[in-house]
């Protein structure tokens, strides 16, 4: 009989049963749509790792009431078609109730055509196109990054402050590029004698952009704004210099990070290239102490990075887990609808403030029936009616010594 009980116990463990005979709790799966290949490939790993850091800290705090969190990663290849297929796999095969992603606005819009009817929450940490604001999404699409309706304003003001009167724009021909170009031009030309000379769209993954570069150079602009992705943007920068361009360079978030500097146009501090000293904008993190601790923890685990939006990815994963925890605390299940219905409650005021790596505190409060207000690494993370960030910060950054440094932070709106 004793041998029989030992064998039965062993079989039970293999089947995932606990000593009391109950099935081990299922994991709380969080999908991750990220660019590991394609035009945004240099951004993918650091942004994925930002979400992974949140998952690791959630599990270190005991998980969602005993249920471990798991990040399920799918590559979008920075392609709407591939991203849509990846979203389908996360929904149909991996059975995730919520997803962090995607990066490119065009890919997020494509993925949403799968996630919305499936009632799966989609929170992008990097998609900044204003088109997401008006999406008919049944309240299933969000973002933890400020819209380009805000970044475009700051970018135009930066160009004005730098004394540029004639600017040309090269932009990636998708929702992100078009949206930011439109806002920048509108705000820049509000001032007399300020003109966008050329607006030149480009298609991704071309071997050369000499034609686009020459169109942007026509008329001798004071600066060229590269609304590009790192892989293609590097080609454009090199070809602009080779074509004799001697003006200034201006960058948005898509060209921030080690995918560009250091890069072909700025090899090293010892051999600074033509983009040394260039300025740009990106969503920033207002809480200096919290951001510093995040950067320290992130660097210890994954290595340092100046790529943007790893903080926004952390916050997206965090609010998904906290919304799931509130649903469970209220006697519900971890479903996409439950996460949607609890998302603003855990992210927006009122409630007791919890912040970076305070998951144990948050879970305790929720278990006690109290409300929480998550204040993230990237900012307050307060969602408005459209699922956008109600407030935010735009960072102004500079390439110095072929590295990215923060110059200033501008609160928006």
Q: Are residues 253 and 325 in the same domain?
A: no
d(CA 317, CA 225): 32
Query: How long is the chain?
Result: 413
Residue 253 shares a structural domain with residue 183 = yes
Asked, for residue 294, whether it belongs to a domain, the answer is no
Whether residue 50 lies inside any domain: the answer is yes
CATH code at 354? 3.40.50.2300
Whether 313 contacts 99, CB under 8 Å: no
What domain range includes position 405?
149-281+396-412
Residues 161 and 95 in one domain: no
Q: How many domains does the chain have?
A: 2
Same domain for 194 and 244, yes or no, is yes
Q: Are 273 and 402 found together in one domain?
A: yes
| Residue 2 located in a structural domain | no
Task: Confirm whether 297 is domain-assigned.
Answer: no
Query: pLDDT tens digits for the chain (413 residues)?
Result: 444 334 433 444 443 444 444 455 799 999 999 999 999 999 999 999 999 999 999 999 999 999 999 999 999 999 999 999 999 999 999 999 999 999 999 999 999 999 999 999 999 999 999 999 999 999 999 999 999 999 999 999 999 999 999 999 999 999 999 999 999 999 999 999 999 999 999 999 999 999 999 999 999 999 999 999 999 999 999 999 999 999 999 999 999 998 899 999 999 999 889 999 999 999 987 777 899 999 999 999 999 999 999 999 999 999 999 999 999 999 999 999 999 999 999 999 999 999 999 999 999 999 999 999 999 999 999 999 999 999 989 999 999 999 999 999 988 87
Do 96 and 118 belong to one domain? Answer: yes
Q: Are residues 247 and 154 in the same domain?
A: yes
Distance in angstroms (rounded) separating the CA atoms of residues 127 and 143? 7
Same domain, 246 and 262: yes
Q: What CA–CA distance (Å, rounded) separates 99 from 30?
A: 6
- Does residue 390 lie in a domain region? no
Q: What is the C-alpha to C-alpha distance for residues 82 and 66, in angstroms, rounded to an integer?
A: 34
Q: Answer whether residue 167 is part of any domain.
A: yes
Same domain, 99 and 221: no
The answer as to whether 337 is a domain residue is yes
Is 163 found in the same domain as 261?
Answer: yes
- Domain-located, residue 1: no
Q: Are residues 235 and 353 in the same domain?
A: no
61 neighbors 321 (Cβ within 8 angstroms): no
């Amino acid at each position: 009989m004793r041998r029989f009980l030992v064998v039965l116990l062993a079989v039970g463990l293999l089947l995932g049963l606990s000593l009391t005979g109950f099935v081990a709790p299922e994991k709380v799966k969080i999908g991750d749509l990220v660019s590991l290949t394609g035009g945004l490939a240099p951004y993918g790993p650091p942004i994925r790792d930002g979400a992974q850091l949140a998952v690791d800290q959630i599990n270190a705090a005991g998980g969602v009431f005993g249920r471990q969190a798991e990040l399920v990663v799918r590559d979008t290849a920075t392609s709407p078609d591939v991203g849509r297929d990846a979203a389908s796999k996360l929904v149909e095969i991996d059975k995730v109730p919520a997803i962090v992603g995607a990066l490119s606005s065009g890919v997020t819009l494509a993925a949403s055509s799968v996630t919305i009817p499936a009632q799966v929450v989609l929170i992008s940490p990097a998609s900044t196109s204003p088109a997401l604001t008006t999406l008919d999404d049944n309240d299933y699409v969000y973002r933890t990054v400020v819209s380009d309706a805000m970044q475009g304003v700051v970018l135009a003001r930066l160009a004005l402050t730098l004394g540029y009167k004639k600017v040309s724009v090269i932009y990636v021909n998708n929702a992100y590029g078009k949206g930011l170009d439109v806002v920048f031009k509108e705000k820049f030309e509000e001032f007399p004698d300020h003109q966008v000379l050329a607006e030149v769209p480009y298609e991704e993954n071309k071997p050369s952009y000499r034609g686009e570069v020459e169109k942007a150079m026509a008329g001798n602009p004071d600066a060229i704004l590269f609304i590009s992705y790192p892989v293609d943007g590097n080609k454009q920068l090199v070809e602009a210099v080779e074509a004799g361009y001697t003006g200034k360079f201006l960058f948005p978030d898509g060209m921030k990070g080690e995918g560009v500097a250091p890069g072909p146009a700025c090899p090293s501090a010892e051999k600074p290239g033509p983009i040394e000293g260039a300025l740009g904008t990106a969503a920033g993190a207002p809480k200096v102490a919290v951001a510093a601790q995040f950067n320290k923890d992130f660097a210890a685990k994954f290595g340092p990075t100046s790529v943007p939006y790893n903080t926004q990815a952390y916050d997206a994963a965090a609010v998904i887990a906290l919304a799931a925890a509130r649903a469970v605390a209220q006697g519900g299940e971890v479903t996409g609808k439950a996460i949607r219905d609890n998302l603003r409650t855990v992210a927006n005021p009122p409630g007791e403030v919890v912040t970076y790596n305070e998951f144990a505190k948050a879970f305790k409060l929720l278990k006690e029936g109290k409300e929480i207000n998550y204040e993230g690494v990237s900012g307050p993370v307060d969602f408005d009616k459209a699922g956008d960030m109600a407030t935010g910060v735009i960072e102004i950054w500079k390439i110095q010594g072929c590295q990215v440094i923060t110059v200033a932070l501008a609160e928006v709106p």
